[in-house]
Amino acid sequence: MSTGLESWTPVKEVAALSPFSGSEVLLTIIAVVLWIVFHIWQLKSENNAYDEQVSKQQ
Amino acid sequence: MGYDMTMEISALNEIFVEFYYWITVPLMFLIHVGFCLYEVSISRAKNHMHTLMKNAMLIPMVTITMFLFGFWIYFAGQGPFGDFAGGTTGLPWDATMGSNFGDHIMGVFWAAFLLFSWTAASIVSGAVIERIRTGAFLILAVLVGSVTWMIDAAWGWSAGGWMVTDWGYHDAYASGVIHGICGGAALGILTVLGPRIGKFAPDGTPRDIPPQNPWLAVIGLFIIYTGFWGFYAACNVPIIEFDGLWTATTIYGTPTTLSTITFNFLMSLAGGLMAGYYMSKGDSFWTFSGGLGGIIAASAGNDLYHPLQAFLIGIVGVWVAYKLHYWVERKFKIDDAVGAVAVHGYAGSFGVIICGFMLWGYPALADGSATITPWGQIGGAIIMFFVLGFIPTYIVAKILNAMGILRIPKEVELAGLDYMDNQASAADGQKIINAELAERNASSSL
């Protein structure tokens, strides 16, 4: 059982070093979703914070 | 068995080049440290922490997007309308974009470009402090750091870019491809964002909003100078065989020497400092910004200028930037809090244009298939500052403004962006004082 490499020799035949090689497209999709969600979360949370501040100051 | 010395030298050369670029990355990291210090020091105390966090958070946002698509744009976009010349190179699932024994260097190249991207977004960040929303800024940071600057690098900062092959565009140390575009991008946002409250008197006269901590802002600029060495180093191929001669080359593959760029970096810095000091009558902010502006003005041709030419170009570039800054401020009511449009945009664009006259007729590529001309450089400066700089950020800022998410509410701007955090800290501090007093009273009553 191995998530990737089982031997370092012959080293010239080693290509990908990371585990679960072949999952790069899936990882990309996850990263794109996280990136977009972060922008949305930031905008919403900032909006709420400013609304709260404005209402406290009034 | 024979000893293959050629292969060993070739391996050593490859390792040296890998290590050389790798060292430029932590040096360039200092640019961001300097920008954060500078930007926070320019902001007023009531906005310090938000100013810092806005700049710091561009790091993850630009980094992830540079990995997802920014670096791919560089390889794919080397035709005028993006003919996807690079195929899958730079895409996140490409074998070179990961830990793979098939490629040892791509991650280091990516990091060098990424640190330029942080710088690009950070230049914009300073201009818009104390009134832009962090969420809006991060969208604009991705636009500049991972999209528009990567397009201009593909077009004008690569031996295969169409501006280089067709126009002979030359910009060895990025007067236009980093500084020109970012100055234009900052101006595009500022035009929509508007000035800080109180910046202009009712009759339109500009008021000075002094830095909260002038000497710390200057230290920030000093640190940016230091990081700029890494930037210059990263713009070179350090050692390569060129027509039988071992030498350094620019990113275009044209020869230069490390001696030349070392002379010229320092001489243009000196010229810029002198001009900034003279123009501002000794103001520390403009003197140190002038040093940066001097380097930026000479950067397009610092691979070939004589040191005294770099010195003089640094002086004239800062004079132009300083004059334009105050003219634009008065005429168009633009509040550029850190002078980013001037130091980067005007000095950088001037640098691109003057390079066309200074290096007129020089080969722009190693094989001599393109030639540097004033019109190629003027066209390049327009593309950098307006087409890829001003216009995209102006349009996106307009959209964000229409959605009501570009500028902070007036009440927040007046009270300060850190108001809520400061109130909470004060409340927590008071609770601790109360608890300590209660403890002391309990002890004394025993």
Nearest CA in chain A to B101: A15
pLDDT value of residue B84: 60
Nearest CA in chain A to B104: A15
Q: Is residue A18 part of a domain?
A: no
Terminal CA-CA length for chain A: 64
pLDDT value of residue B132: 97
pLDDT value of residue B81: 58
Q: Is residue A5 part of a domain?
A: no
pLDDT value of residue B332: 96
pLDDT value of residue B281: 96
Label residue A56 by pLDDT band (50, 70, 90): confident
Q: Which residues of B touch A53 (CB under 8 A)?
A: 409, 411-412, 415, 419-420
pLDDT value of residue B12: 84
Residues B398, B406: contact at Cβ < 8 Å? Answer: no
Q: Where are the domains of chain B?
A: 14-408
> How would you write the pLDDT of chain B (446 residues) with one tens digit per residue?
456 767 788 888 888 888 888 899 999 999 999 999 999 999 999 999 999 999 999 999 999 999 999 999 999 888 655 556 667 889 999 989 999 888 888 999 999 999 999 999 999 999 999 999 999 999 999 999 999 999 999 999 999 999 999 999 999 999 999 999 999 999 999 999 999 999 999 999 999 998 889 999 999 999 999 999 999 999 998 888 888 888 889 999 999 999 999 999 999 999 999 999 999 999 999 999 999 999 999 999 999 999 999 999 999 999 999 999 999 999 999 999 999 999 999 999 999 999 999 999 999 999 999 999 999 999 999 999 999 999 999 999 999 999 999 999 999 999 999 988 888 888 888 999 999 999 988 888 76
Q: Rounded to a whole number, what is the distance in Å from the CA of B406 to chain A's nearest CA?
A: 10
CA atoms within 13 Å, Cβ hemisphere of B158: 21
CB contact under 8 A, B101 and A28: no
d(Cα B22, Cα B201) in Å, to the nearest integer? 50
pLDDT value of residue B352: 98
Type of residue numbered B240: I
Nearest CA in chain A to B133: A46
* Helices B284-299 and B214-234, axial angle in degrees (round to 10): 10
| DSSP-derived secondary structure letter, B96 | G
CATH node for B14-408? 1.10.3430.10
Domains contained in chain A, number? 1
Q: Which two tokens stand for residue A2?
A: 């191995």
Q: Which residues of A touch B98 (CB under 8 A)?
A: 16-18, 24
Q: Is residue A33 part of a domain?
A: yes
Q: Which of B94, B103, B91 is nearest to B14 (CA)?
A: B103
Residue among A17, A18, A24 with most chain B CBs within 10 A, to mutate: A24
| DSSP-derived secondary structure letter, A11 | G
Q: Is residue A13 part of a domain?
A: no
Contacts of B193 (CB under 8 A, 6+ apart): B128, B131, B132, B397, B401, B406, B407
pLDDT digits (tens, 9 = 90+) for A2-51: 898 889 988 888 888 999 999 999 999 999 999 999 999 999 999 999 99
Q: Which of B139, B133, B136, B120 is nearest to B50 (CA)?
A: B133
- Residue A45: domain span: 23-57
pLDDT value of residue B105: 87
Residue with tokens 């070739």: B10
A·B CB contacts under 8 A: 72
> Is the confidence metric ipTM above 0.85 for this complex?
yes
Q: Which two tokens stand for residue B408?
A: 């902070």
Whether residue A48 lies within 8 A of chain B, CB to CB, comes out as no
